[in-house]
Amino acid sequence: MNKKIKFGVIVFPGSNCDADCLWAIKDVLHQDAEFIWHESKNIENYDVIVLPGGFSYGDYLRSGAIARFAKVMEKINDFVNKKNKFVIGICNGFQILLEAGILPGAMLHNKNLKFICEYVNLVVENNDTPFTNKCEKGQVLKIPIAHGEGNYYCDDKTLNKLIKNDEIAFRYSTLKGEITEEANVNGSVYNIAGILNRKKNVLGMMPHPERAMIEELGSTDGKYIWESLINFIKKS
């Protein structure tokens, strides 16, 4: 299948990584992408919906708490339940997916209460997913984070379920892929940086793959995630 894959990047008031995502998909990956305003209800024609980073609705109340009630979000559940449809939520997009209950858990303030903007190392926990099939299991990716509330929290029961069902995509690690307390920059439960739903067609992650696309940005490891997804869709 040589047809270009169609990405829709949702724009909420306060999204600020929407243009970066569009650039990464169109200019670097050479696929189709367009913005979708949060009041739109027409998302069924896209292959992939991207919930970008930013500060939707000023992060008021809780990050993502208000965006999850946007009109476009009413259609997301239907979209996710369809075949060959994918959703990736990055940073604020991940927070929105959690608030919407599409992924389990919630976000707390970073353990040091600081907004952290830096490159981190992520170990690929599960490479048998539409979003990670171009990675090796245990591969370490260098991708930046930029958030104040990325301290992932879930109860033990949920964590056990995530582990049992292979729903953990990425964990904060050292450069060598070791899981340590020090590498866990924001204090997340189990060093969790990204998780999937049971069906594995929804990924939520705090690091920004769209910011690690060309050498000039310091890393191209973000491409593994987008290219895995493109690879998966083209094969299916």
Q: Which residues contribute to the site for another protein (CB under 8 A)?
A: 61-62, 65-66, 69, 98-99, 104-106, 108-113, 151, 153-155, 187
**Could you confirm whether 167 is annotated as catalytic?**
no
Nearer to another protein, 105 or 222 (CB): 105
Minimum CB distance to another protein smaller for 14 or for 177: 14
Q: Which two tokens stand for residue 83?
A: 């075949």
Our answer to whether residue 91 is catalytic in this structure is yes
CB of 111 to another protein, least distance (A): 5
The continuous run of DSSP H or E covering 117 comes out as strand 116-124
Q: What whole-number distance in Å separates Cα of residue 92 and Cα of residue 5? A: 24
- In the complex, minimum distance from the CB of residue 70 to another protein, in angstroms, rounded to a whole number: 13
- Catalytic status, residue 109: no
**Full DSSP string of 135-163:** SPTT-EEEEEEEES--EEE--HHHHHHHH
The first and second tokens of residue 47, run together, are 């292959």
- Give φ, ψ of 223 to 5 degrees: -65, -30
Taking the least distance from each CB to another protein, the nearer of 63 and 201 is 63
- How many residues in total does the chain contain? 236
Supply the minimum distance, in Å, between the C-beta of residue 160 and another protein.
15
Catalytic residue among 17, 21, 91, 135: 91
